[in-house]
Structure 1
């Protein structure tokens, strides 16, 4: 199910940022356990709209 949901998302235009944005009310901590695995599966299956070339030159394109 996570891979199917991931195919409905697009990748992030920033390097090392997931397609899924998580919000919390405490300090940032690494994802682990089943929730981390599910989010990583969704991110891995997200549609690659932003290429590595775009991500590398993102600042130039967004001016």
Structure 2
């Protein structure tokens, strides 16, 4: 993954947030984070697991 791509990855992933209902949905957060990971250069098949871990850590605080 390339940290230099972070700003572009976040901008590219906002499509997921823009297309969602305005109710809170944990899966939406996970999908958004997974998309950022993919746009940073991560493998799409492996992006969901770390995205779930990031969400779970955030949600536990």
Q: TM-score, normalised by structure 2?
A: 0.31
Structure holding more helix per residue: 2
Computing the radius of gyration from Cα coordinates, the structure with the larger value is 1
Structure number with the bigger relative contact order (C-alpha 8 A, sep ≥ 6) is: 1
